[in-house]
Amino acid sequence: MTMHSTGLTNENGERVVAALDQFQIETPSWGYADTGTRFGKFYQPAAAIDLGDKLADAGEVHRLTGCCPSVAVHVLWDFPAGSDPAEVVRLAGQHGVSIGSVNPNVFQDQQYKFGSFGNPNEDVRIVAMKHCRDSVELARQIGSRHISPWFADGTNYPGQDSIRARKRRFEEGLKQLHECLADDQILLVEYKPFEPAFYQTDIADWGMACLLAKSAGPQARVLVDTGHHYLAQNIEQIVAWLLDEGMLGGFHFNDRRYADDDLTIGSIDPYQVFRIFHEIHGYAFDQGGTYPEIAYMVDQSHNLKPKLEAMVQTVVVAQELYAKAALVNHAALAVHQSLGDIVGAERLLQRAFNTDVTEALVTWRRQRGLPDDPLDALRESGYIEKAANDRTERREQLGIVQSSSYA
Ligand code: PSV
Ligand code: MN
């Protein structure tokens, strides 16, 4: 058997390299800043203070991993009133990254107590629409293709509002928002079964998101946040259905043990992530090797792990699982499936999952001038210590107090 320089067979080595070459992951600006739970925050001296720090950190993650060229931004958090979009683009470029998805924020202000697009009050719906349209315009100005609103809308008690009326308001709102997209922009519709609404969320699952995206228009797709599912839910089945419907727009990667825990991807159930990637590779195989356009994004809250380490770890684990899933032999799988050979079929998945792809990843990185182990390289670089010193000094100068008040 001929061996590839990756330690795998030639065929498998090529599969891994081809898979990694088209797998890019967007990191979120909010993953670099101090975050907490509703009980409080534990501050980190190296946490980003402003967008400049976030872009610098994202640039460092891309420099180490070679696969994170863009950064997701949250409009209210990253573009305070008066900020200059051109300056943000320039700053991102300076750090070797670009601005990726634009996330409007229609959940934070007092006026959104009863929702945004689903709010019974038309005045609030108009304000929410204006903010979303402004976000689309901002995305256009900074050359960003993905508009990624997340709606915290819903109700907390039975009878609080008409579920059907809220659905209609969403249909109407998303249609209107879709109208102002540029030809190359994509509207991502994210769903979540609960929180902060605890009786019903207006876009509670993939089916609702898919219906709304279809009725909004041809440039709307569904965004699968891996943490936004009930525990026993089969996420890869959802992914397979969305792929088949041509409606899978992107992912927010994170892992969870209970609910929307925002833990790092693969930390709890790596086989689940592998199975999701397996569906994507299988779909591409059926399309003659062409991969669908999917925006892979991280959406995690690194409260206890050092933020940069958590981000690099996330990216490396995602690459590893994506590479493992690429090892499934789809032609052989189809034969086992047609014969009803359940054990043979499953063994193909298990063997791929259990294959050590470390050497293959190292080879891929060496060929691109990247460090063999991005996490070790980060730890040895002194970047985190320097950021901690610089940012602590800047906080003092700016009078920023990292108090442990409730978040
Ligand atoms: C909501 O839980 C969510 O997943 C949305 O994507 C938000 O934009 C993000 O988290 C950050 O709060
Ligand atoms: Mn999300």
Full DSSP string of 73-114:
EEHHHHS-TT--HHHHHHHHHHTT-EEEEEE---SSSGGGGG
Buried b (16+ CB within 10 A) or exposed e, 75-103: bbebbeeeeebeebbebbeebebbbbbbb
Does residue 150's CB lie within 6 angstroms of at least one atom of ligand 1?
yes
Which atom from ligand 1 is nearest to the alpha carbon of 152? 1
Q: Does the Cβ of 153 fall within 6 Å of ligand 1?
A: no
Would the CB of 190 count as within 6 Å of ligand 1?
A: yes
Mutate to test the pocket of ligand 1, among 188, 222, 225 (most ligand atoms within 8 A of CB): 225
The confidence score (pLDDT) of residue 350 equals: 98
The helix or strand, by DSSP H or E, that contains position 298, with its residue range, turns out to be: strand 295-298
Which residue in 112, 104, 100, 44 sits closest to 72, CA to CA? 100
Q: How far is CA 333 from CA 60, 272, 321, 324, in A?
A: 40, 19, 19, 15
How much distance in Å is there from the Cα of 190 to the middle of ligand 2? 7
H-helix or E-strand containing 208?
Answer: helix 206-216
- Which helix (H) or strand (E) covers residue 383, if one does? helix 383-398
Does ligand 1 come within 6 angstroms of the Cβ of 299?
A: yes
Kindly report whether the peptide bond that precedes residue 374 is cis, defined as omega within 30 degrees of 0: no
Distance 262 CA to ligand 2 centre (A): 9
Q: Which are the contacts of 291, defined by CB distance < 8 A and separation ≥ 6?
A: 22, 280, 284
| pTM score, whole prediction | 0.97
Closest residue (by CA) to atom 8 of ligand 1? 150
Beta carbons within 8 Å of 321's beta carbon, 6+ residues apart: 266, 270, 273, 274, 277
Give the ligand at the shortest distance from the Cα of 298: 2
Q: Could you tell me the distance, in angstroms and rounded to a whole number, from the CA of residue 373 to the centre of ligand 2?
A: 28
> Relative to the alpha carbon of 76, which ligand is closest?
1
> 275, 322 in Cβ contact below 8 A?
no
- Ligand 1 atom 7: the closest Cα is on which residue? 150
Ligand nearest to the CA of 29: 1
On the CB side of 179, how many CA atoms lie within 13 Å of its CA? Answer: 8
CA of 129 from ligand 1 middle (Å) equals 18
Among residues 257, 259, 104, 112, the alpha carbon closest in space to that of 187 is found at 104
**Which of 101, 194, 252 is the best mutation target for the ligand 1 pocket, counting ligand atoms within 8 Å of the beta carbon and taking the most?**
252
Give the C-alpha separation, 191 to 202, whole Å: 8
- Helix, coil or strand: residue 222: strand
Task: Say how many Å lie between the CA of residue 192 and the centre of ligand 2.
Answer: 8
- The tens place of each residue's pLDDT in the chain, 407 residues long, gives 566 777 889 899 999 999 999 999 999 999 999 988 888 899 999 999 999 999 999 999 999 999 999 999 999 999 988 889 999 999 999 999 999 999 999 999 999 999 999 999 999 999 999 999 999 999 999 999 999 999 999 999 999 999 999 999 999 999 999 999 999 999 999 999 999 999 999 999 999 999 999 999 999 999 999 999 999 999 999 999 999 999 999 999 999 999 999 999 999 999 999 999 999 999 999 999 999 999 999 999 999 999 999 999 999 999 999 999 999 999 999 999 999 999 999 999 999 999 999 999 999 999 999 999 999 999 999 999 999 999 999 999 999 987 655 43
Report how far apart, in Å, the C-alpha atoms of 328 and of each of 1, 234, 270, 321 are. 18, 20, 16, 12
- 189 neighbors 222 (Cβ within 8 angstroms): yes
Check pocket membership of 35 for ligand 1, CB cut-off 6 A: no
Residue type, 130: K
Q: 74, 77, 150: which to mutate for ligand 1, most atoms within 8 A of CB?
A: 150
Report the alpha-carbon distance of residue 378 to residue 264 in Å, rounded: 17
pLDDT at 407: 39
* Ligand 1 pocket, residue 202 CB under 6 Å: no
Ramachandran quadrant class, 363 (left: phi over 0; alpha: psi -120 to 50; beta: rest): alpha
> Nearest C-alpha to atom 3 of ligand 1 is from which residue?
150
Ligand 2 centre from 163 Cα, in Å?
Answer: 23
Helix (H) or strand (E) holding 53: helix 51-65
pLDDT in the model for residue 38: 86
| Ligand 2 centroid – CA 264 distance (Å) | 13
* 13, two tokens: 């080595």
238: closest CA among 289, 272, 285? 272
Residue 229 · residue 269 · CB < 8 Å: no
Q: Is the CB of 252 under 6 A from ligand 1?
A: yes
Task: State if residue 225 touches ligand 1 by the CB under 6 angstroms criterion.
Answer: yes
Complete domains list, the chain, with CATH: 23-327+374-398 (3.20.20.150)
Residue 154: half-sphere exposure toward Cβ, Cα within 13 Å: 21
CB count within 10 Å of CB 159 equals: 7
How far does Cα 213 stand from its chain's mean position? 18
How many Å from the N-terminal Cα to the C-terminal Cα in the chain?
58
Q: Considering Cα of 81, then 84, then 89, then 90, what sign does the dihedral take?
A: negative
Distance CA 90, CA 86 (A): 6
